[in-house]
């Protein structure tokens, strides 16, 4: 009977190791993502958070040496219950602190991840000591514990990446992990209750903690929204967390809409037309043809709104990584009003290419209704919506044909992962996609606040065999903002491109900001305003644009 009981206890202990290993790595991921969402610079935040947690895991492993054997189950129950509550409610606590007590955020942030790291560090040594009862040989004992812990970490990482984050908010994800931790702990304490001094108290405590986690899960959305509202001056009308970013829409008392991504302003209804008209109309005016247009980024549909004004356009391919953004642009009434329904207009035959890369095109709106609007002789444009990383799309688009206009509407290069979209190899691939007489334009951050980053973009495009010309304009929400226009060097020099811009006689579509005067003004830079101290370019091995951008915005007033 005793042997059967021992086998059962050993089996449950293996499950506990597996669960704790999976939840431990998932807590690290969760706290890292919260840090990157709140503070930006995701690579730095992930690296620092995980490094600090690993250090304190070592501290926890050192502390356990001083803990007596007779208290192992009780210490395990207490430490894991505390970890479940801190890890589960940690994201909400960090969001609240960042919103209401920003001056204390650093202390709370690193205090929380340090304590969580310490508690995770207690797990393996405590369980190894418990497992000595069933497997006294050190070699086999350590092998089993580490094997189960690493297997749990693998499953936990995959579960967090492919199941939790795509389906739940970060605060809900943390509370689900809390419930899993507590459920595994409850089973463990129950099985080893005879070895615990306060088994009944611990089981009651764990059940109460599970109730708190369930309550927190049900209320987390409201709590997070209340905290998030304090970060914005205007009323939050929509918020969503995708696997890639946090999207928030606010609306002022006057009805003006603003969109934020990871806390940074993406566009403001009050002046977005300045940005999007300069992004789209100059290249459309210069291209010898404008039948096929490629928009990389621009999931809000605002650049597409401007492109669809041209009757010559026959096909637009819009590539945006995040389906949450394009869904918002299509389904949120406030955004659909702003982009004139460019992603949901029944005059447009809207199709999507799944991210799996199958190439299958699935209609997601009503069929083409050209006849209803313009008669049978007029073919309206087809919009292809591709949810894929832009660099992957461009690399695989060799058989897709060539584009008359390419518009790059990417986020600023605020992370190393975005630097590749401003790099030499990427521009080289785009070069091959331009049709004869084609024109490309890249949004290029601020030439005033980030001069080195702005000029680095131009140098990199030139190194990819483009002739380039800079443009800029004052967008009140952002300040002085810039773009680089480009044509292949084989089609003309930079001087010829600038001369062509000056020779534009007008725009064929209605605009609010851009005209001949504002276009020519955008080509004028103050003497010396583009002088730089660097001559580097961005490559996959050397993401210079990220370093320049980071230095600029960290030191800007």
CA 179 to chain centre: 26
Coil, strand, or helix at residue 304? helix
Name residues of the chain where pLDDT drops below 50: 1-2, 355-376, 556-557
Beta-carbon contacts of residue 259 (< 8 Å; ≥ 6 apart): 247, 248, 249, 265, 266, 267, 300, 335
Strand 403-409 versus strand 434-443 pairing type: parallel
Domain boundaries, given as residue ranges, for the chain: 2-220, 271-523+532-555
267-286 as b/e: b if 16+ CB within 10 A: bbbebbbbbbbbbbbbbbbb
- The secondary structure element, H or E, covering residue 30 is helix 2-39
Q: Which residues are catalytic?
A: 409
Residue 540 confidence (pLDDT): 84
Determine the topology of domain 271-523+532-555 in CATH.
Rossmann fold (3.40.50)
Residue 346 confidence (pLDDT): 63
Residue 359 confidence (pLDDT): 40
Concatenate the DSSP letters of all residues of 52-68 into one string.
HHHHHHHHHHHHGGGS-
Choose among 514, 414, 411: nearest CA to 471: 514
Residue 137 confidence (pLDDT): 59
Determine the topology of domain 2-220 in CATH.
Growth Hormone; Chain: A; (1.20.1250)
- The secondary structure element, H or E, covering residue 274 is helix 272-286
* Residue 540 near residue 425 (C-beta atoms within 8 A): yes
Residue 410 confidence (pLDDT): 93
Residue 376 confidence (pLDDT): 44
Cα distances (Å, whole numbers) of residue 233 to 238, 249, 288, 498: 14, 12, 45, 41
* Residue 116 near residue 181 (C-beta atoms within 8 A): no
DSSP class of residue 381?
A: P
DSSP H stretches of helix in 64-104: 72-100
Residue 220 confidence (pLDDT): 86
Residue 139 confidence (pLDDT): 59
Q: Write out pLDDT tens, residues 403-413.
A: 999 999 998 98
Q: Answer yes or no: same fold for 2-220 and 271-523+532-555.
A: no
Beta-carbon contacts of residue 541 (< 8 Å; ≥ 6 apart): none
375-389 as b/e: b if 16+ CB within 10 A: eeeeebbbbbbbbbb
- The secondary structure element, H or E, covering residue 239 is strand 235-241
């Amino acid at each position: 009977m005793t042997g059967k009981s021992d086998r059962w206890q050993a089996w449950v202990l293996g499950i506990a190791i597996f669960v704790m290993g999976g939840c431990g790595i998932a807590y690290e991921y969760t706290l890292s993502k919260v840090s990157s969402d709140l503070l930006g610079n995701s690579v730095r935040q992930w690296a620092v958070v995980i490094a600090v947690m690993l250090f304190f895991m070592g501290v926890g492993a050192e502390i356990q040496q001083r803990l007596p054997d007779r208290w192992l189950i009780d210490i395990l129950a207490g430490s894991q219950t505390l970890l479940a509550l801190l890890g589960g409610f940690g994201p909400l606590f960090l969001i609240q602190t960042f919103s209401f007590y920003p001056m204390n955020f650093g202390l709370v942030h690193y205090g929380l991840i340090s304590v969580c790291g310490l508690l995770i560090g207690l797990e393996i040594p405590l369980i190894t000591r418990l497992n000595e009862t069933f497997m006294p040989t050190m070699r086999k004992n350590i092998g089993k514990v580490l094997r189960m812990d690493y297997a749990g970490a693998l499953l936990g990482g995959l579960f967090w990446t492919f199941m939790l984050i795509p389906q739940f908010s970060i605060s809900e994800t943390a509370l689900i992990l809390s419930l899993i931790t507590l459920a595994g702990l409850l089973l463990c304490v129950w099985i080893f209750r005879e070895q615990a001094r306060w088994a009944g108290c611990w089981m009651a405590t764990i059940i109460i903690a599970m109730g708190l986690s369930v309550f927190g899960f049900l209320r987390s959305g409201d709590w997070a929204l209340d905290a998030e509202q304090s970060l914005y001056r205007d009323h939050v009308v929509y918020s969503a967390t995708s696997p890639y970013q946090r999207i928030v829409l606010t609306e002022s008392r006057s009805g003006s809409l603003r969109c934020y991504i990871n806390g940074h302003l993406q566009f403001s209804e009050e002046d977005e037309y300045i940005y999007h008209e300069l992004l789209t109309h100059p290249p459309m005016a210069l291209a010898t043809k404008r039948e096929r247009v490629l928009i990389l980024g621009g999931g809000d549909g605002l650049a597409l709104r401007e492109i669809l004004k041209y009757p010559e356009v026959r096909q637009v391919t819009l590539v945006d990584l995040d389906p949450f953004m394009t869904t918002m642009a299509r389904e949120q009434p406030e955004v659909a009003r702003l982009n004139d329904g460019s992603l949901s207009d029944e005059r447009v035959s809207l199709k999507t290419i799944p991210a799996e890369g199958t190439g299958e095109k699935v209609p997601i709106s009503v069929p083409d209704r050209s006849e209803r609007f313009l008669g049978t002789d007029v073919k309206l444009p087809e919009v292809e919506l591709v949810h894929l990383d832009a660099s992957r799309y461009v690399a695989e688009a060799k058989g897709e044909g060539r584009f008359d206009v390419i518009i790059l509407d990417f986020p600023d290069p605020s992370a190393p992962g975005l630097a590749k979209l401003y790099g030499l190899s990427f521009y080289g691939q785009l070069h091959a996609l331009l049709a004869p007489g084609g024109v490309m334009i890249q949004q290029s951050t601020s030439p005033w606040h980030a001069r080195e980053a702005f000029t680095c973009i131009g140098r990199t495009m030139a190194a990819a065999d483009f002739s380039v010309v800079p443009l800029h304009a004052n967008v009140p929400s952002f300040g002085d903002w810039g773009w680089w226009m480009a044509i292949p060097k084989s089609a003309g020099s930079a001087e010829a491109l600038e001369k062509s811009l000056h020779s534009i006689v007008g725009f064929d579509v209605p605009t609010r900001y851009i005209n001949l005067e504002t276009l020519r003004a955008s080509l004028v830079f103050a003497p010396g305003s583009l002088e730089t101290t660097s001559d580097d370019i961005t490559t996959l091995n050397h993401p210079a644009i990220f370093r320049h951008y980071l230095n600029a915005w960290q030191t800007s007033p």
